[in-house]
Structure 1
Amino acid sequence: MSQPAVPQFTGLGWLAVVRIGLVQASIAAIVMLTTTVLNRLMVVEYALIAGIPAGLVGWHYAVQLCRPLWGHGSDKASGKGISRSVWIFGGIVVLAFGAILAVQSTIMMSGSFALAMTIGVAAYTLVGIGVGASGTSALALLASGVAPDRRAPAAAVTWIMMVAGIVVSAIIVGALLDPFTPERLLAVASGLLLVCITVTGLAVYRIEPRGGIASQAFAATAKAEPAPDFREALLEILREKAARRFTLFIFVSMMAFNMQDLILEPFAGLVFGMTPGESTSLGGMQSGGVLIGMIVAGIGGSAFSGRLPVELRHWIVFGCTGSALALASLALAAVAGPGWPLAANVFALGFCNGLFAVAAIGAMMGLAGSGEKTREGVRMGVWGAAQAIAFGLGGLVGALGVDAARRILISDGAAFQVIFGIEAALFVLAAVLAVRATSADLQPAVLSARLTEKTREREVFA
């Protein structure tokens, strides 16, 4: 006697994808506060060397080296019927608590520096844990719950919403922060964190099907084999040429992407004389460029089509090359000073960043489910860890490089020019690595993985 068929369930719908995007937007808004606004305040308003906030931000990225472990834990939990939503919401609460501690430690910098730094290290530890736990679990939910042919466009949608969250929060925070006072900073930050926690809670509420036919089909889309132990999962990923090359590309491109993140606002303040609100709004201008670049890349047919990594190559290379040219222009701006069209230059940099980033994320999602045994949580955790290392190292190298160059060259403009030039060179290297990471000889492996997954789905939904 034949078994009753499980009615077809195509995975999470577009409304659920948008809800995950709201989670990403909330995470990004809080991170913007801790890595951009507080960084500028420490360097300009509190007259600290750039290496101090860079070290704190770098530490929060170092904590995220545990992303593969959190992704593996999320895989294990989901295999036992425990919702990934618990990991997501718990992570955002930890992130918000760390952020408010970071704000408090910044305010204390003008008093007891040792105590402020102690609290700051604890705060950025919590920020790293919160970002890693919530972000990795959200991406794992996206990769495991969305049908394979929708993964790349779903990733593009969530990343566009993430950048939109940065843009909106930067504009609002920038407007509310002037004239700057510690009390105003604390009030604005508290309001932002409460909004982000509330939005995340509403976004993940019952996002995963519970009970009934939909829940059975949702569970059936997971890999049939139990999740391997952590060491076995890592070894499987390291054995794959495609995964190794892609990890290297992620590392170099994201290091280039983030080198200017901690120095852009101090650059605007020291070289162009901008206020905290003006420089925060300039950061929002860059994020606006990233947002439009992502939309253009998606509408252009790359990320939104669910194509394979090799078909996304030209978007990645064009974005990396354009980013290098925009940074070369910023290097000229560092010498030219006031009068340079800085806002347009920063917008162009963001636009090219968006082109390569959304295509790279589309390629990442295409490879997320290609493991024989490893699940999406571990794979997204490995790439997330590579990104975190690159972000932390890039920000630290950029900030320490500026400190050293300012001492040697005795000129703020010349110091920033050197760092922007190095960053441009890294983007050129990233373009070369992108070609290797998406080379045609890796295409059969990806095609095979997709065909296997589609065959498994047909068996589940027959």
Structure 2
Amino acid sequence: MLSWFQIVRLGFVQMALGAIVVLTTSTLNRVMVVELSLPAILPGLLVGLHYGIQLTRPHWGFYSDAGGHRTRWIIGGMIALGTGAFSAALALLVFPHSFAFGLTISVIAYTFIGLGVGAAGTSMLALLATTTHPDRRAAAATITWLMMIFGIAMTAGIVGQLIDPYTPALLLKIVASVCVIAVATSALAVLGIERKLVAVRETDPTPFMEGLKEVWAERKARNFTIFVFLSMTAYFMQELILEPYAGLVFGYTPGQSTSLSGAQNGGVFLGMLTVGIMATGLKIGALRNWVMVGCLGSAAALSLIAGLGPVGPSAPLLPAVVILGFFNGMFAVAAIGSMMALAGDGVERREGTRMGLWGAAQAIAAGFGGLLGAACVDVLRVRLPDSQAFGTVFLVEAAIFLAATAMAAKIMDRKIPTSTLVPGE
């Protein structure tokens, strides 16, 4: 079983993964829409592509279940992710000279990003779920996700300070540096950690589709998959439009809008930490309640952000975004705790397949949500002022969070405290 030190080591993989991904979904997205004046639907489609590629997550999880040795999938995935992110930044230098060539590079780059996140992320979570003592799984989930959010917030904050005044060459240098550091950190963090652990198992001859059908037949796994899709659609609808909103409506520079993303993820970190302390440490509250509070609070924060648009540059956008991040973090860590608990609940030797299924549901929702948000903004901006166009999408997102609250109330048992959702306790 993993020691606490080894759990923290795996958290560095999550931290590195988040550090790269935040550049592709926030900084590069904002540059496309504001600096290059491209329609928001373009980065929406590209990010949607990388999430769509993550439909391969069940395959990665199944393959690591079947043969063990998840380390190779983690390191290989991080290399693919870093290569894709650097290529995506390189494409931004090409767009002003050739839209077709820039788009071609971007499509290839975001394909690599999707493959990298799928392979590294799914395999890391499966390794964590199968090698962590049951008594430590809830805490392990909280630790690794806090580290990921810290990596996202730290990277966004540092990049936000370094990228002003913006130049394409500076952007390329920053992205290259982040990718190299992240890949090296991941390799060092995971190297040798799998030796003598139960995750290294004999090959399972079960075909992939048969293994996936076994998991889908489990009622808990199936219901949770549907909940993940709905809630994550709401979670990711603002991902591709918040920074352009800050730039177009509030006059934020590239550095300021990147720092805004860092502040949002700082709020996510605080929300996760709050639930980690209250639920895992002090054992206060049920998982269902934390999920519902997080969803309701996120809906309220999105309504506030929408209402600030007509005020313009003088409006306190930063505090509102931090509040959104805080409630997003509450919801996310409660859902993650449930995911970790359910990973080992059902047919044996299918932990990676379950994590892959839920990861695929999240990826579909993220791609769909991000693309939907960006497309709606483009359509609404034709007839409405920018503040109203973005505000309308934020209100739609809030409504979806309310629907996710209702589903959580229906499928989650109010009698089970968060701490007892961990198998074996």
Q: 1:224 to 1:38 in 2, by over 3 A?
A: closer
Corresponding residue of 1:385: 360
Q: CA deviation at 1:224?
A: 9.5
Partner Cα separation in structure 1 for residue 14 and residue 303 of structure 2: 31
Contact 1:322–1:352 under 8 Å retained in 2: yes
Question: 1:279-428 to 2 correspondence within 5 Å?
Answer: 279-302=257-280, 311-409=286-384, 411-428=385-402
> Structure 2: which amino acid aligns with 1:339?
S
Q: Deviations over 1:204-237 (max 9, x none)?
A: 111112xxxxx2xx32x78999473222222122
1:89 corresponds to: 75
| SS of corresponding position for 1:301 | helix
Query: Using the alignment, how far apart are the partners of 1:431 and 1:195 within structure 2?
Result: 39
1:460 alignment partner in structure 2: none
Instruction: Report the CA distance between 1:43 and its aligned residue.
Output: 0.1
C-alpha RMSD of matched pairs (Å): 2.1
Question: Contact conserved, 2:67 with 2:202, CA < 8 A, in 1?
Answer: no
Q: What is the alpha-carbon distance in structure 2 between the residues aligned to residue 191 and residue 236 of structure 1?
A: 43
Aligned 8 A contact 1:223 1:375 in 2: no
Q: CA offset at residue 439 of structure 1?
A: 3.0
Structure 2, gaps ≥5 residues long: none
Q: Decide whether the 8 Å contact of 1:289 with 1:351 is kept in 2.
A: yes
Q: TM-score, normalised by structure 1?
A: 0.88
1:49 alignment counterpart? 39
AA in 2 matched with 1:66: T
Residue 6 of structure 2 is aligned with which of 16, 29, 45?
16
Q: Does 1:436 align with 2:410?
A: yes
Distance 1:227 1:355, change over 3 A: farther
1:228 aligns with 2:190: no
User: Counterparts of 1:92 and 1:225 in 2: how far apart (Å)?
Assistant: 24
User: Would you say the 8 A contact 2:338–2:421 is kept in 1?
Assistant: no
Shift of 1:436: 2.1
What is the match of residue 102 of structure 1? 88
Q: Distance in 2 between matches of 1:227 and 1:293?
A: 42
Q: Aligned letter for 2:221?
A: A
Deviant stretches of 4+, over 3 Å: 221-228, 304-307, 447-451
After superposition, the C-alpha distances for 1:270-318 in whole angstroms (9 at most, x for unaligned) are 000000000000000000000000000010024x5899xx931100000
CA distance in 1, matches of 2:263, 2:423: 38
1:357-382: CA deviation from partner (whole Å, max 9, x where unpaired): 00110011010001223421100000
Instruction: Read off the aligned partner of 1:24 and give its amino acid letter.
Output: Q
Q: Which moved more, 1:222-231 or 1:347-356?
A: 222-231
Show the counterpart of 1:67.
57
Q: Distance in 2 between the 1:414 and 1:372 partners? A: 49
Give the structure with higher Rg (CA).
1
1:157 aligns with 2:143: yes
For 1:118, which of 84, 104, 110 is the aligned residue?
104
Indicate which of 273, 280, 289 corresponds to 2:251. 273
Distance, in Å, in 1 between the alignment partners of 2:127 and 2:381 is: 45
Equivalent position of 1:252 in the other structure: 230
Alignment partner of 1:37 is 2:5: no
Query: Once the 2 structures are TM-superposed, how far is the Cα of residue 201 of structure 1 from its aligned partner?
Result: 1.2
Whether the 8 Å contact between 2:59 and 2:208 is mirrored in structure 1 is yes
Query: Tell me, what secondary structure is at the counterpart of 1:408?
Result: coil
Q: Distance in 1 between matches of 2:121 and 2:45?
A: 22
Q: Distance in 2 between matches of 1:132 and 1:227?
A: 22
Q: Aligned in 2, Cα 1:92/1:222: closer, same or farther, shift over 3 Å?
A: closer
Number of aligned pairs? 423
Task: Tell me the CA shift for residue 165 of structure 1.
Answer: 0.1
Aligned partners of 2:84 and 2:112 also within 8 Å: yes
| Inter-partner Cα distance in structure 2 for 1:88 and 1:64 | 14
CA distance in 2, matches of 1:448, 1:170: 33
Distance 1:296 1:440 in 2: 20
- Choose the corresponding residue for 1:133, options 94, 100, 119: 119
Residues 1:136 and 1:395: Cα distance change in structure 2 (over 3 Å): same
- Verify the 8 A CA contact 2:245 2:390 in the aligned structure 1: yes
* Uncovered stretches (5+) of structure 1, i.e. residues with no partner: 1-10, 210-214, 455-462
Counterpart for residue 179 of structure 2: 193
